[in-house]
Amino acid sequence: MNIKSIKSQFPIFEKKINGNSLVYLDSANSSQKPRAVINRLSHFYENEFSNVGRSVHSLAVTATNRFEESRDIIKNFLNAKHREEIIFTKGATESINLVASSYGDKFMKEGDEIILTELEHHSNYVPWHYLRDKKGAVIKFAKLNENLEIKTDEIKKLITNKTKMIALTHISNVTGGISPLEEIIDLANSKKIPVLIDGTQGAPHLKLDMQKIGCDFYVISCHKMYGPNGLGILYGKKKWLDLLPPYQGGGGMIDEVKKETITFAETPTKFEAGTMQTAEVVAMGEAVKFIESIGLKKILDHENQVLNYALERLKKNNSIKLIGNPENKASVLSFTIKGIHPHDIATILDEDGVAIRAGHHCCQILHEKIGVSATARASLGIYNDKDDIDVLDSSIKKCRKVFNI
């Protein structure tokens, strides 16, 4: 695979940071965008723009067709059974809020239980916390082992006849650990408990097959998989989406409105209230085409090679403490350096053009567990190679010199 050729498709890498070539190691936060996605966004606004699902003039028909074509592209990408199982939202956060609100309103009562894990991003905790406050639900956290992995037995211990939802991450945005989804979902299915997967880190890196994974809900953040900002995808089994009430009310999601009664549209339209992000949806279809043009297996193989090289290099640096040691790991490396705050690490690396994230990564429960308030995090995308890791390693050594460590 020619990474230089792939990298050349991302205009951002023509930019210099403090006089240095950009080494972008913050894709778990948000990935950069290939020219094809940027151009598709511009082309839509310049040539095809209109609102969808309302007017019958030529532009509106074209825009609606492009919007629905993207739904089909994503349906095939996820191997969903029905195109109606693809819902467009403002982001993965809204997707989880949609499920927590709609499922909670219809199916949960006081004392019912939700199982999460200690790995969860705030986006897969706070919406369930709202449900806890609103309905008197109970949240249980599956504990991690010494390698900061979630094991199926820890989920099994928490299941009771009051368990109404299991929600967990596919890939941790702190440790890179890959959850044993199929084991957990098989367990949940045997107990008839629905499962929601936070796939914000899973979707950019792993082959997704909803028939094989078997979860009830899977959420995606488009800006993390080379697509546009302000757009998320909720995959939900049609049997659930048909049962759930709408999450938001407004134009577009209704069937008939009278002074006394309102009836709603069918799935998926009933969950897509108001003016949709049409250009972003169309551009997301292009992002999926970009990923498929390379091939997810090739992407995963390449990222694993770079990840293993990074682990080898960083483990030789005795001043670095890597966070977590999961057996199955994807392209995230969080670390600390004794005596240097992660924000200072990130600032010094930026001087060399190296972009990482520093902070709690919206995972304060996990950081409390490991006893630190923040970590530094380098995360990989398709455009990274071993040369980027060499620059990262060199810049980390520079941090030590600056702080005399």
Catalytic residue among 215, 222, 362, 363: 362
Q: 96 CB contacts (<8 Å, ≥6 apart)?
A: 123, 124, 127, 167, 196, 198, 219
Query: Which residues have C-beta within 8 Å of that of residue 71, sequence separation ≥ 6?
Result: 83, 86, 88, 268, 281
Residue 281 main-chain phi, psi, to 5 deg? -65, -45
Phi, psi of 319 (to 5 degrees): -80, -15
Name the DSSP letter for residue 171. Answer: B
268: preceding bond cis by omega (within 30 degrees): yes
Helix (H, G, I), strand (E, B) or coil at 25: coil
Among 382, 375, 388, which residue's Cα sits nearest to residue 32? 382
AA identity, residue 272:
E
- Which of 350, 303, 332 is CA-nearest to residue 22? 350
Q: Is 362 assigned a catalytic role? A: yes
Terminal C-alpha separation, the chain: 39
The amino acid at residue 40 is R
Q: Which amino acid is at 144?
A: L
Residue pair 170/202 in contact (Cβ under 8 Å)? The answer is yes
Contacts with 384 (C-beta within 8 Å, 6 or more apart), sequence order:
3, 23, 24, 25, 27, 303, 306
**Residues acting as catalytic residues:** 362
